[in-house]
Amino acid sequence: MNYIVCNLGRIIEICIKLNIKILSVFSFSLLNYNRSPEEIHFLFYLNLLVLINEDFFFKFIKDNKIKIKIIGNLSYVNDSYRKIIYDIEEKTKNFNKYPLER
């Protein structure tokens, strides 16, 4: 898990250094629903771990004023996952230095 967060953090740091203002991160596709239920659960779990990782969020996202916007069809996502997404978007909605879209 830390590997994923560290790599995403490194990518964002490079974007900041290069003054790239918008980064889109592809993390899940409707095509992934063709996978086994175990694989789907694992992919959602990985995404959630990144979104709720306190070190990543509070030390990196907030310090760099990165706005997070989750895009795509969320009707396939359960209510608790949508709430986490909504909360993250709300916490970062006024950040304007670097918008991050997933």
pLDDT 10s per residue in the chain (102 long)?
Answer: 455 567 878 888 898 889 888 888 877 788 888 999 999 888 888 888 877 877 777 778 888 888 888 888 888 888 988 898 899 899 889 988 765 555
pLDDT at 100: 58
Q: What is the DSSP letter of 84?
A: H
- Greatest Cα pair distance, the chain, in angstroms, is 40
pTM of the model: 0.74
Contacts of 85 by beta carbon, 8 Å cutoff, 6+ apart: 51, 70, 74, 77
Q: What is the CATH number of the domain that holds 16?
A: 3.40.1180.10
pLDDT at 7: 81
Q: Which domain holds residue 76?
A: 2-101
- Rounded CA-CA distance 78/86 in Å is 12
Q: How many domains does the chain have?
A: 1
pLDDT at 38: 92
